[in-house]
C-alpha cells in the first residue's frame, strides 16, 4: 500500500527504512524468523531430549510462575506429548521456593523417578543446582532467555543471551526459546507443522506478556500468536476469554497485556501457577469452569492487595524516602505475590527505580525491583552482588534474596550509584513526553489513524506513536470517582473538533487546559467505536503552551 509521508518518516525514526524492511514490518504474514539450530547447544539439547524419549525415560518440564513460564511449560508439554507419555511438570512456589531452580525441588523430582529435567524460562545461572542435579543422577537441559554474564550452569544451556551464541536475535521471551526448541525437535522427528501452529496462541501470550521488545523475530511471533489467539480452540483459554469479557476475533496486544496476562499471573501471585497450566491443557468442561472462576477470583484479590500495598508504599516514600534516588522499601506483611507490580507502579509514579522487600526464611528478605528508562537495573544490582544470597534479572526487572542485616548497606550503595548516574545524566529523572512526529490539522484523519494501526502490535521497543497536535482546548471536565481523569475538546486549526482524554497525571494540566489558549498536545491518535460509528480520539500524555 501507499503510505503517507509522515508514516514513512515515523518508521525511519524507528530504524525501519527501505521498501523490503517496511513491507516486512507491516506485513500480516511476516517472515523474519531464524533457524533454531543457530542457537548454541541446540544440537546437544535435542539429542538429549530425543535420547530420553527413545529410552522411555521420565521427563519433567521445570517452569516459572509468570505468564511466560506458564505458556512455556504448557507449550513444551504439548509438543513433547506427541512423542512420549512419560511427562510431568514442576513450577516452584513463589512463596516457599522463589524463582528458578532449587535443590529441594530437584531432589523431589528425582525421587518421583524423573531422569531428565528440561527448564523453561529459568536456570541459566543456576550453577549449584546444576551440579546438585548431576550428583543425584538427574540429567538437565536448560532453556532460558534471562541475562547471562560471567557464570553459567554446567549442562547444555539454550539461551540466545549466553556468550558465544550466534543466534542473530537476542531478545526472545522464555516461550520464544521454548518454541525454537520445539521447532528443532519437530524438524528432527518429522512432527507435522500443525503441532507447532497449535501452540502459537501460547507463544503470543508469553511473548507479549513478558514485555520483551516487539521487534524482529518477536514481532513475527506476536503477530502470528495474536492471529492464533483470535481463532484458538484451546478450551480453557476460550472460556477464560469469555469469562473476562474478551471476544475472539478482536483481541489485541493491549488485551493480552492488560487482561489475559494478569489473570494468568494471578494464579502464581495468589495461589498456584499450576492452576493456569492445567487450564491451558484441560479438556473437562467442569474443571475448566472451576479453573476460570478461580483465576478471576485470584485476579480480583490481587488487584485489592496491590492497591492497598501501593498506598502503604506511597506514604513511606513521601514520609521517609522522599530524598532517595533509588527506593528500597522493606514491608513486614506485604503479600509477596504483588510486590513486583507495586514496585512497577512506584517506578511509574515517582520516576525512580524501586525495590520492595518482604521477609523470607530465617533472617532473610526477598526483593523484587523495577527500573526506569536509562537505568539498567541488572548492572546496578550486579555491582552489589556481594550482598546477595541469590540474584538474577535483566535491565528492567530483578529479584534477589538478602540477609536482613545487609539491607541498610544495600540502600546506601544503590543510592550512591544513582547519585553518580544522576551526576553524569542530569536529565535522568525528567519525565518529559517527546513526540515522534507532528501532524497538521489535515493529517488528523481516519486514514492516518488506520495507517498508524499498521504498526501494531505495540509494546516494548515499538510503542504506540506519540504525536504532536496544535490545538485550542475547550469544555474541560473531570472523570473518575475522584475526578482524577480529564476529558476536553481540542479545536484543530481548521476548526474541526476532536475529543481528548487524559488518564495519567491529569490534574497537572488543569490550569493550561482551562485557559483556552492555543497550545500543543502530545498523545496517541486512537479509533473509538460507539453505537456502530467510528470516531477519532486523542489519549493525551502531555500539553504545553
**What's the predicted TM-score (pTM) here?**
0.90
pLDDT on residue 99: 80
Average pLDDT over residues 190-197: 97
DSSP string, 148-214: --S---SS-EE-TTSTT---S-----HHHHHHHHHHHHHHHHT--HHHHHTTHHHHHHHHHHTT---
Residue-wise pLDDT for 207-230, tens only, equals 999 989 999 999 999 999 999 999
Based on its alpha-carbon atoms, the radius of gyration of the chain, rounded to whole angstroms, reads 24
Residue-wise pLDDT for 164-174, tens only, equals 999 999 999 99
pLDDT on residue 394: 76
393, containing H or E segment: strand 388-393
Structural fold of domain 437-544:
OB fold (Dihydrolipoamide Acetyltransferase, E2P) (2.40.50)
What does DSSP assign to residue 495? Answer: S
Least confident of 149-153, 329-333, 351-355: 149-153
**Cell of residue 398, nine digits:** 530483578
- Start-to-end Cα distance in the chain: 37
CA dist 430 and 453 (Å) reads: 29
pLDDT on residue 147: 84
State in words which class domain 320-424 has.
alpha beta
Share of the chain above pLDDT 70, in %: 100
Structural fold of domain 26-293:
inorganic pyrophosphatase (n-terminal core) (3.90.1640)
- Average per-residue pLDDT in the chain? 94
Residue-wise pLDDT for 459-487, tens only, equals 989 999 999 999 999 999 999 888 889 99
Residue ranges matching CATH 3.90.1640.30 in the chain: 26-293
CA dist 173 and 71 (Å) reads: 11
Confidence of residue 412 (pLDDT cuts 50, 70, 90): very high
Least confident of 15-19, 173-177, 523-527: 15-19
Backbone angles phi, psi at 390, to 5 degrees: -145, 150
Q: Give 190-193 contacts, CB < 8 A, sequence gap 24+.
A: 191/79, 191/82, 191/83
Strand, helix or coil for residue 399 = strand
pLDDT on residue 396: 83
Average pLDDT over residues 136-165: 94
User: Is it true that the peptide bond before 457 is cis, omega within 30 degrees of 0?
Assistant: yes
Q: Give 22-31 contacts, CB < 8 A, sequence gap 24+.
A: 25/219, 25/455, 26/454, 26/455, 28/223, 29/223, 30/219, 30/220, 30/223, 30/224, 31/220
Within 10 angstroms of residue 356's Cβ, the number of other Cβ atoms is 28
Least confident of 24-38, 315-329, 351-365, 384-398: 384-398
Confidence of residue 397 (pLDDT cuts 50, 70, 90): confident
Average pLDDT over residues 354-358: 96
Within 10 angstroms of residue 262's Cβ, the number of other Cβ atoms is 21
Average pLDDT over residues 274-282: 95
pLDDT on residue 505: 83
The answer to whether 75 touches 199, Cβ cutoff 8 Å, is: yes
- The dihedral through the CA atoms of 326, 173, 228, 297 has a sign that is negative
CA dist 290 and 489 (Å) reads: 46
pLDDT on residue 1: 66
pLDDT on residue 433: 80
Residue ranges matching CATH 2.40.50.460 in the chain: 437-544
Residue-wise pLDDT for 435-463, tens only, equals 999 999 999 999 999 999 999 999 989 99
> What residues are paired with 526 via a beta bridge?
537
Residue that the C-alpha cell 497537572 belongs to: 508
Within 375-509, where are the H helices? 377-382, 407-424, 446-453
The answer to whether 465 touches 452, Cβ cutoff 8 Å, is: yes
Chain centroid to Cα 179, Å, comes to: 17
540, containing H or E segment: strand 533-544
Residue-wise pLDDT for 54-74, tens only, equals 999 999 999 999 999 999 999
Strand, helix or coil for residue 469 = strand
Residue 521 has pLDDT above 80, yes or no: yes
**Cell of residue 252, nine digits:** 489485541
Residue-wise pLDDT for 77-110, tens only, equals 999 999 999 999 999 998 888 788 999 999 999 9
pLDDT on residue 33: 97
The answer to whether 371 touches 211, Cβ cutoff 8 Å, is: no
Helices (H) and strands (E) in the chain, counts: 20, 16
Residues 6 or more apart from 395 whose CB is under 8 A from it? 147, 371, 376, 377, 378, 379
HSE value, Cβ hemisphere, 13 Å, CA-based, for 468: 12
Residue ranges matching CATH 3.10.310.30 in the chain: 320-424
Which of the pair, 286 or 430, is modelled with greater confidence? 286
Amino acid at each position: 500500500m501507499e503510505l503517507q509521508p509522515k508514516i514513512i518518516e515515523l518508521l525511519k525514526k524507528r530504524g525501519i527504512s527501505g521498501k523490503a524492511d517496511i513491507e516486512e514490518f507491516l506485513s500480516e504474514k511476516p517472515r523474519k524468523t531464524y533457524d533454531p539450530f543457530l542457537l548454541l547447544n541446540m544440537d546437544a539439547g535435542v539429542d538429549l531430549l530425543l535420547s530420553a524419549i527413545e529410552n522411555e525415560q521420565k521427563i519433567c518440564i521445570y517452569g516459572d510462575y509468570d505468564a511466560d513460564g506458564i505458556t512455556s511449560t504448557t507449550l513444551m508439554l504439548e509438543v513433547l506429548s506427541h512423542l512420549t507419555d512419560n511427562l510431568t511438570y514442576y513450577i516452584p512456589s513463589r512463596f516457599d521456593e522463589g524463582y528458578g531452580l532449587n535443590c529441594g525441588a530437584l531432589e523431589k523430582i528425582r525421587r518421583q523417578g524423573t531422569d531428565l529435567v528440561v527448564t523453561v524460562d529459568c536456570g541459566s545461572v543456576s550453577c549449584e543446582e546444576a551440579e546438585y542435579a548431576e550428583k543425584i543422577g538427574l540429567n538437565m537441559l536448560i532453556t532460558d532467555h534471562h541475562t547471562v554474564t560471567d557464570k553459567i550452569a554446567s549442562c547444555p544451556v539454550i539461551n540466545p543471551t549466553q556468550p558465544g551464541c550466534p543466534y542473530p536475535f537476542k531478545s526472545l521471551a522464555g516461550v520464544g526459546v521454548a518454541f525454537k526448541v520445539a521447532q528443532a525437535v519437530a524438524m528432527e522427528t518429522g512432527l507435522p507443522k500443525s503441532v507447532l501452529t497449535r501452540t502459537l496462541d501460547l507463544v503470543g501470550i508469553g511473548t507479549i506478556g513478558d514485555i520483551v521488545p516487539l521487534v524482529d523475530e518477536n514481532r513475527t511471533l506476536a503477530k502470528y500468536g495474536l492471529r492464533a489467539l483470535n481463532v484458538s480452540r484451546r478450551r480453557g483459554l476460550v472460556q477464560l476469554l469469555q469469562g473476562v469479557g474478551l471476544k475472539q476475533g478482536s483481541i489485541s496486544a493491549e488485551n493480552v497485556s492488560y487482561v489475559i496476562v494478569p489473570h494468568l499471573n494471578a494464579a502464581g501471585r495468589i495461589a498456584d501457577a499450576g492452576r493456569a497450566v492445567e487450564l491451558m491443557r484441560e479438556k473437562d468442561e467442569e474443571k475448566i469452569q472451576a479453573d476460570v472462576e478461580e483465576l478471576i477470583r485470584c485476579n480480583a484479590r490481587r488487584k485489592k492487595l496491590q492497591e492497598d500495598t501501593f498506598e502503604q508504599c506511597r506514604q513511606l516514600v513521601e514520609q521517609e524516602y522522599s530524598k532517595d534516588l533509588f527506593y528500597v522499601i522493606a514491608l513486614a506483611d506485604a503479600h509477596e505475590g504483588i510486590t513486583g507490580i507495586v514496585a512497577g507502579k512506584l517506578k511509574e509514579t515517582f520516576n525512580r527505580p524501586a525495590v520492595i522487600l518482604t521477609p523470607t526464611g530465617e533472617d532473610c528478605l526477598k526483593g523484587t525491583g523495577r527500573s526506569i528508562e536509562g537505568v539498567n537495573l541488572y548492572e546496578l544490582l550486579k555491582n552489589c552482588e556481594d550482598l546477595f544470597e541469590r540474584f538474577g534479572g535483566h535491565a528492567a526487572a530483578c529479584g534477589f534474596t538478602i540477609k536482613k542485616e545487609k539491607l541498610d548497606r544495600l540502600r546506601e550503595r544503590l543510592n550512591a550509584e544513582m547519585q553518580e548516574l544522576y551526576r553524569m545524566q542530569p536529565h535522568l529523572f525528567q519525565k518529559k513526553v517527546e513526540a515522534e512526529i507532528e501532524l497538521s490539522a489535515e493529517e488528523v484523519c481516519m486514514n492516518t489513524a488506520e495507517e498508524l494501526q499498521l504498526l501494531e502490535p505495540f509494546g516494548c521497543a515499538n510503542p504506540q506513536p506519540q504525536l504532536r497536535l496544535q490545538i485550542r482546548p475547550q469544555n474541560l471536565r473531570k472523570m473518575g470517582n475522584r475526578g482524577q481523569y480529564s476529558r476536553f475538546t481540542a479545536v484543530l486549526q481548521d476548526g474541526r473538533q476532536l475529543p481528548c482524554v487524559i488518564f495519567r497525571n491529569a490534574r497537572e494540566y488543569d490550569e493550561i487546559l482551562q485557559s483556552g489558549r492555543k497550545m500543543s498536545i502530545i498523545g496517541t491518535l486512537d479509533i473509538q467505536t460507539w453505537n456502530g460509528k467510528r470516531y477519532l480520539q486523542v489519549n493525551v500524555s502531555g500539553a504545553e503552551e
